[in-house]
Structure 1
Amino acid sequence: MDTSGTLEEAFGRLHSTGPERDGWLSNHAPMVAEALSTRGRAGAVHHWLDLYRDKLEEFPDPVAPVTDDNWPSALGDPHRAADWIDYFSRALAEHPWRSVLAVWWPRLLPGIAAGATHPVIRVGHAVRALGAEENEPRLTELAHGLGYWAARYQPVSGIASVPGARTAADALDAVPPIAVGPVGFRARLDAVHRLPVWAGEVTGPDAARDRLTELVRAATHRYATHGHGQPTMLVHAATAPNAVLRALDALPRELWVPSLHAAWTASAAVTAMYAPDEPVTYTPSARLTAEEVLERAVAHGDEHVIKFTDTALDVGDETALVAAVRAVEISEPLV
């Protein structure tokens, strides 16, 4: 665990900025700062933030307070991001963070695809940070993540089930791609009408954790051969379910099964939206260690590459590292 205080300093820089820019593109800086700090690269955090600062916008103006009584009317209103962040800041000052998370996780989970899955990913990073050390900047980061999720809440509905497969890898292969046409995440999400059934028989929390772990591994591995479909967006097929996996231990066990099913919906939907016409065979030029792969990702600098590499390191096997190298090779660098 990094004890330098760098992550707290980074959050201090970032909590005066908004969760989005240019209308709805996500602010990835808090997530990258947490990933770098967790992976022993705290020394790179402030330099990376300096490179990224032109992509940050000022914190949005409040509209009207969100309360315990009126919150349903504010759910899914992106203009209320400041109001939602203030609401969660107050809730986390008054109650243990795990209690707040337990109340709001099932409320927000149907909107897991909100903001191109970035809100749940930001929450997953915040939960990991709080699991390592609890302090005010990290609690504030959770408030920002939950507030962003509530403001961008967008449920996935109207999806018919199609035959799936027993393994996560085969189920992802069975995902039918959407018809070519829609541009933008929200339009593509509206075009997702069919997804395979997977893990529907899971009823126990331990089995749900096992299946979620399998899904993260399968989606990470799949990027090596399918990431060229859309190098940036397809990382979320792995990083979104991994954010859910990171949150499990902070949640009541009765929420683990619905968390698995929501994570599958998010991962499968992203797969449907950005699937390439054909997979490719990919062989890296050299076998790299985990440290070498991380070093390449940090030097590359792209926020999605760093976060995907962070997930690949969680998976930890050689195929996951190969997928991370693939992300480095096919993604545009930060500068």
Structure 2
Amino acid sequence: MDATADTAADPTSDPAGDPTADPAGTLDEALQRLHTSGPERLGRLTNHAPMAVEALAAHGRSGAVHRWLDLYAPKLEEFPSPVEPVTGDNWREALGDPRRAADWIAYFGRQTGTGERPWRDVLAEWWPRLLPGMYGGSMHPVIRVGHAVRTLLASEPGDETEPRIAELAHGLGYWAARHHPVTGIAPLPQKPGTAAAALDAVEPITERDSGSFPARLGRVAGLPEWASGVTDPDEAHRALTDLVRAATHRYATHGHGEETMLVHASTAPNAVLRALPALPRTLWVPSLHAAWTASAAVTSMYAPDAPVAYTAPGTFAPEEVFERALAHGDEHVIKFADTALDVGDEQALTAALRAIEISEPLT
């Protein structure tokens, strides 16, 4: 798609959006609408709509939320049927069972919806349980949780709305159902100093031209031992920020390896970064290590044969780049542009424009 195309004529365009607020509660309406749908479709593909509409609302495009949802609606499926309630006694046997998605969502709905336990407490209890399995569902569950946490953190304490707390329950439930740890990845001896150098040192897997996400993940044999010596929470925060920036920048020259899947090299660690302020500081270091494994593994799984030079078709303000992502419509493009705006520099915006150019638009 031509990144310089006029977005004003696009039905999802919302050029008059207020970037500071969602006064009509549009996000809450959209989340309520989406909570009748399942977290997946076709038994394996993720429902991206909750993440995309949160990004639209966060960037002042609430007026486009329902129009975008109308375009995305054919990809939604009904909410799955429950199997057996998840409880404090049987949760371990239900962990990682995608058939139990409804059971897990109901469990976290009870945990967060009673008013007896603040959502932060539930998140802090379950984050270390779920973190080792953040690689299931192509890492979309943790990304969905990151979007939910960002919205809740933007609310005043005690003013978090029911749909937004319910969205966290849906995200955590999806994560628990798709919980999938990785094993057998050897730490490679090189220890690059920067995140960019570490990503450059990642070795591609064999047979990159075939296989599902889980199959490719199983072929990741080793990753550079980057940030393994980090023990201080503040240093972990800085390193994770560096990782998100480096992975976002890298997309501009490497995204053609797989234009959709490689966005997760930055959006997954960014979801973890967004959650850190809501988590105890003792969880920041293990969060960094898990996020590095996620970003590096995706880099290994979908690496192109060689980078290509890319020059942006112009210089654009952040809001203009996001408007172009909205006009394009693809859910991954919107979420990647959202992360690029978090990074905020010209290289990140260039990467977002590259994603718009090489990705198929939502029609």
2:291 corresponds to? 263
Q: Is the 8 A contact 2:68 2:329 kept in 1?
A: yes
Note the 1:163-312 alignment, pairs <5 A.
163-180=190-207, 182-312=210-340
Q: What CA deviation, in whole Å up to 9, does each residue of 1:256-294 have, x standing for no partner?
A: 000000000000000000000000000012111111111
Distance 2:204 2:22 in 1: 42
1:124 corresponds to? 146
Q: Is the 8 A contact 1:164 1:174 kept in 2?
A: no
Note the 1:7-86 alignment, pairs <5 A.
7-86=27-106
Distance 2:54 2:23 in 1: 12
Distance 1:16 1:295 in 2: 28
Q: Is the 8 A contact 2:113 2:166 kept in 1?
A: no
Runs of 5+ unmatched residues, structure 2: 1-20
Q: What CA deviation, in whole Å up to 9, does each residue of 1:281-315 have, x standing for no partner?
A: 00012111111111110000000000000000000
Q: What CA deviation, in whole Å up to 9, does each residue of 1:228-275 have, x standing for no partner?
A: 000000000000000000000000000000000000000000000000
1:323 corresponds to? 351
Runs of 5+ unmatched residues, structure 1: none
- List structure 1 runs of 4+ shifted beyond 6 angstroms: none
Displacement of 1:2: 2.0
Distance 1:61 1:164 in 2: 47
Distance 1:282 1:56 in 2: 35
Q: What CA deviation, in whole Å up to 9, does each residue of 1:183-226 have, x standing for no partner?
A: 11010011111110111111110000000000000000000000
The structure in which a higher percent of residues are helix is 1
Displacement of 1:64: 0.2
SS in structure 1 at match of 2:23: coil
Note the 1:119-158 alignment, pairs <5 A.
119-133=141-155, 134-158=160-184
Distance 1:3 1:149 in 2: 30
Question: Of the two structures, which has the highest relative contact order with CA contacts closer than 8 Å and spacing of 6 or more?
Answer: 2
SS in structure 1 at match of 2:314: coil
Displacement of 1:164: 3.1
Number of matched residues?
Answer: 335
The Cα RMSD (Å) is: 0.7
Distance 2:134 2:197 in 1: 23
1:110 corresponds to? 132
Displacement of 1:15: 0.2
Identity of paired residues, percent? 70
Q: Residue type matched to 1:142 in 2?
A: L
Displacement of 1:112: 1.2
Q: Residue type matched to 1:166 in 2?
A: G
Distance 1:111 1:126 in 2: 19
Q: What CA deviation, in whole Å up to 9, does each residue of 1:15-52 have, x standing for no partner?
A: 00000001110000000010000000000100000000
Distance 1:305 1:157 in 2: 30
Comparing 281-290 and 135-144, the one that deviates more: 281-290
Q: Is the 8 A contact 2:57 2:65 kept in 1?
A: yes
SS in structure 2 at match of 1:334: coil
Distance 2:241 2:320 in 1: 24
| TM superposition score normalised by structure 1 | 0.99
1:89 corresponds to? 109
Distance 1:35 1:297 in 2: 11
Q: Is the 8 A contact 1:111 1:154 kept in 2?
A: yes
Q: Is the 8 A contact 2:269 2:295 kept in 1?
A: yes
SS in structure 2 at match of 1:68: coil
| TM superposition score normalised by structure 2 | 0.91
